[in-house]
Amino acid sequence: MADLAAFKRDARAWLEENCPSSIRQPNRTPGDTVLAGPNKKFPNKDAELWFQRMLEKRWITPGWPAEYGGGGLSADEAKILKREMSRLKCPSPVFDQGQAYFGPVIMEYGTEAQKMQHLPPIARGDTRWCQGYSEPGAGSDLASLKTRADDKGDHFLVNGAKIWTSGADKSDWIFCLVRTDFDARKQKGISVLLIDMKSEGISTAPIELISGKSEFCQTFLDDVKVPKENLLGELNNGWGIAKRVLQFERKLMSGEEFFTAQGPDVVATAKKYLGTDEYGKIKNRKLRSEITRHLMHNHADLLNGTRIFFSAKTEDADPNLPLIMKYSATTELKNRDELMLSILGNRGLSWEDDEFNREEKIASQSWATTKAYTIAGGTSEVQLNIIAR
């Protein structure tokens, strides 16, 4: 414990010294996020400086082994680092699904050759990954997927289509679920292929949302040749790997770093827009009560996150705890943004108009975005059904 306390002090001091104050802000937009890939776009010089410093420290993937490009921190140290980053409002220097869940799953199921090929570039933020799961006829019932990979001796020939593939048009690799046994029970005939997005036969088409913008794509695979060595894990045993990815995705969406570091200061916003009484309290008593309730629920989620972290180290860990946390945290995110709009009133009806300030624009955009969090990674209804069983 003494060593962890010393690490916490050192990590906090390093973050305070190296994370530029200009990028430590509670209200962050999608444009502030630096996405991985060979052509990273930094919103400003300080964001680029922050990335370079974290890269040199190997803290982009702090808990990964050093031989795969990580920082070599213990699980406890990595947890402390994330908490200190949240506390100081330090953003992730770069984000990618590869760092969040595909990398850890490759580390768990991949061959040594696959690990050495993919993990170091992911750890450096050099490659961008997308998720080839959902299909036009296979969303919540993912095991009904139809994309097929036929064995052609030295390669698989892949045909099919994926939908809602975030960032597919800008990704380097796709973590793709395919059907390799066409007679087996639907969960039994699925495999995972790591497919180079530059492969001949892959094309993407954007899915435009009502806002006119979207990172979502349809991805088409027409006679795509995939080398046999790109099979992750065992043939026809990909369903367990697919579920493992979802566990990491749900963990990300329920983790404190997901909503604490980038969340608005609800109390400060309420005082600014609603005013305070002679005691310095928020004037609107009803909203004051709702804000208090939100803060209590938010703190309870943080405590549950700690509980899950430590219980995961035991042999009798409850597998439902991450599902409970994902359901609770994403529901509370929606509640928070509903609360923000109530506080802002008609100033919360902004989008991109110049008459609204940054805080108001972020509030309305976040209100629309967080509704999707109860769908991504498994809908809230699916989570509750699994927990009930």
User: Which residues are catalytically annotated?
Assistant: 249
Q: How far is CA 221 from CA 39, 68, 84, 195, in A?
A: 24, 30, 43, 10
Radius of gyration from C-alpha coordinates of the chain: 22
Count CA atoms within 13 Å of residue 15 on its CB side: 23
CA-to-CA separations, 277 to 178, 259, 288, 347, in angstroms, rounded: 61, 30, 12, 22
Phi, psi of 131 (to 5 degrees): -110, 115
Does residue 370 sit in helix, strand or coil?
Answer: helix
For Cα atoms 22, 167, 358, give the angle at the middle one, nearest 5 degrees.
35
Residue reference for tokens 């006119």? 212
Structure tokens at 7: 């690490």
Asked whether 179 and 239 are in contact (CB, 8 A), the reply is: no
Q: Distance of CA 154 to CAs 110, 226, 230, Å?
A: 19, 9, 11
Centroid of chain to Cα 221: 25
Structure tokens at 171: 């990704």
Q: Where are the alpha helices (DSSP H) in 263-320?
A: 266-274, 285-311
